[in-house]
Amino acid sequence: MTCVSTVNYSILLNGGLTPIFQAKRGLRQGDPMSPYLFVLAMEYLNRSLKQLRHKPDFNYHPRADQLSISLIMQAFNHFSSVCGLKSNLEKSSFYVAGVTQEFSSHIMQEMHFSGGEIPFKYLGIPLSSRKLNFLWTGRNEYSRRALVAWSIVCMPKVAGGLNILDIFIWNKAAICKLLWVVGKKKEKLWVQWIHCIYIKGRDLASMPTPNQGSWIVRKIFEARKWMIGDPLDDLNACEERGKFSIKKAYQTFMPQLQKVSWKSRGIQVEQECVLCNTTVVETLEHLFFDCGYSKVIWSTLLHWLGERRLIRSWEEEIEWTARRTNNSRARAGIIGFLFAASVYQIWPERNGRRFNNQRIASRQLIKEVILQLHAYGQRQSKWRQQLDC
Rounded to an integer, the average pLDDT of 29-51 is 79
Q: How many CB atoms lie within 10 A of CB 365?
A: 21
pLDDT value at 171 more than 70: yes
* Residues 151, 169: Cα–Cα separation, whole Å: 10
pLDDT value at 35 more than 50: yes
Rounded to an integer, the average pLDDT of 19-45 is 77
> pLDDT grade, residue 330 (50/70/90)?
confident
Q: Side chain identity at 274, as an amino acid letter?
A: V
Share of the chain above pLDDT 70, in %: 84
Residue 191 CB partners (closer than 8 Å, separation 6+): 181, 182, 185
Domain assignment of residue 335, yes or no? yes
Whether 292 and 375 map to the same domain: the answer is: yes
Q: Which residue has the higher pLDDT, 233 or 2?
A: 233
Q: Which residue has the higher pLDDT, 121 or 133?
A: 121
Domain assignment of residue 150, yes or no? yes
Domain assignment of residue 307, yes or no? yes
Q: How many CB atoms lie within 10 A of CB 244?
A: 21
Q: How many CB atoms lie within 10 A of CB 68?
A: 17
Query: Whole domain around residue 136: which residue ranges?
Result: 128-159
For 271-281, b/e burial (b = at least 16 CB within 10 A) is eebbbbeeeee
Domain assignment of residue 14, yes or no? no
Whether 189 and 222 map to the same domain: the answer is: yes
Whether 152 and 178 map to the same domain: the answer is: no
* Residues 194, 189: Cα–Cα separation, whole Å: 9
Rounded to an integer, the average pLDDT of 103-124 is 77
- In the chain, which ranges are continuous DSSP H helix? 34-51, 66-83, 101-111, 129-137, 150-153, 167-184, 189-194, 215-222, 231-236, 246-253, 261-264, 284-285, 292-304, 314-324, 330-351, 362-377, 381-388
Whether 302 and 279 map to the same domain: the answer is: yes
pLDDT value at 192 more than 80: yes
Rounded to an integer, the average pLDDT of 6-24 is 81
Whether 283 and 346 map to the same domain: the answer is: yes
Whether 148 and 171 map to the same domain: the answer is: no
Whether 280 and 344 map to the same domain: the answer is: yes
pLDDT value at 136 more than 70: no
Give the 3-state secondary structure of 227-263. Answer: CCCCHHHHHHCCEECCEECHHHHHHHHCCCCCCCHHH
pLDDT at 62: 46
Give the count of domains, the chain: 3
User: Among 23-32, 117-126, 204-213, where is mean pLDDT lowest?
Assistant: 23-32
Whether 172 and 144 map to the same domain: the answer is: no
Whether 290 and 207 map to the same domain: the answer is: no
Mean pLDDT of the chain: 80
Domain assignment of residue 86, yes or no? no
229: left (phi over 0), alpha (psi -120 to 50) or beta: left
User: Using one digit for the tens of pLDDT, what is the confidence trace for 240-269?
Assistant: 888 889 988 888 888 765 555 555 566 566
Whether 296 and 191 map to the same domain: the answer is: no
Rounded to an integer, the average pLDDT of 290-309 is 90
pLDDT value at 168 more than 70: yes
* Residues 124, 64: Cα–Cα separation, whole Å: 30
> pLDDT grade, residue 295 (50/70/90)?
very high
* Sign of the Cα pseudo-torsion (111, 116, 121, 124, in order): negative
pLDDT value at 155 more than 80: yes
Domain assignment of residue 201, yes or no? yes
pLDDT at 143: 55
Domain assignment of residue 92, yes or no? no
Q: Which residue has the higher pLDDT, 255 or 10?
A: 10
Whether 199 and 279 map to the same domain: the answer is: no
Rounded to an integer, the average pLDDT of 160-178 is 88
Radius of gyration of the chain (CA): 33
What secondary structure letter does DSSP report for 106?
A: H
Domain assignment of residue 230, yes or no? yes
Q: Which of 136, 159, 182 is the last residue of a domain?
A: 159
pLDDT at 38: 80
User: Using one digit for the tens of pLDDT, what is the confidence trace for 232-242?
Assistant: 777 888 888 88
pLDDT value at 50 more than 50: yes
Q: Which of 141, 159, 177 is the last residue of a domain?
A: 159
Do 334 and 305 contact (CB within 8 A), yes or no? yes
User: Among 30-34, 207-211, 271-275, where is mean pLDDT lowest?
Assistant: 30-34
pLDDT value at 9 more than 70: yes
381: left (phi over 0), alpha (psi -120 to 50) or beta: alpha
pLDDT value at 319 more than 80: yes
Whether 228 and 301 map to the same domain: the answer is: no
pLDDT value at 195 more than 50: yes
Helix (H, G, I), strand (E, B) or coil at 12: strand
User: Among 168-182, 255-269, 272-286, where is mean pLDDT lowest?
Assistant: 255-269
* Residues 64, 176: Cα–Cα separation, whole Å: 43
Q: Which residue has the higher pLDDT, 325 or 141?
A: 325
pLDDT value at 293 more than 80: yes
* Residues 62, 122: Cα–Cα separation, whole Å: 22
pLDDT value at 270 more than 80: no
Rounded to an integer, the average pLDDT of 58-77 is 71
Alpha-carbon distance values, 1 to 24, 81, 82, 86 (Å) = 12, 13, 10, 16
pLDDT value at 18 more than 70: yes
Q: Which of 192, 218, 253 is the last residue of a domain?
A: 253
pLDDT value at 1 more than 60: no
Do 374 and 338 contact (CB within 8 A), yes or no? no
Rounded to an integer, the average pLDDT of 351-366 is 88
pLDDT value at 156 more than 70: yes
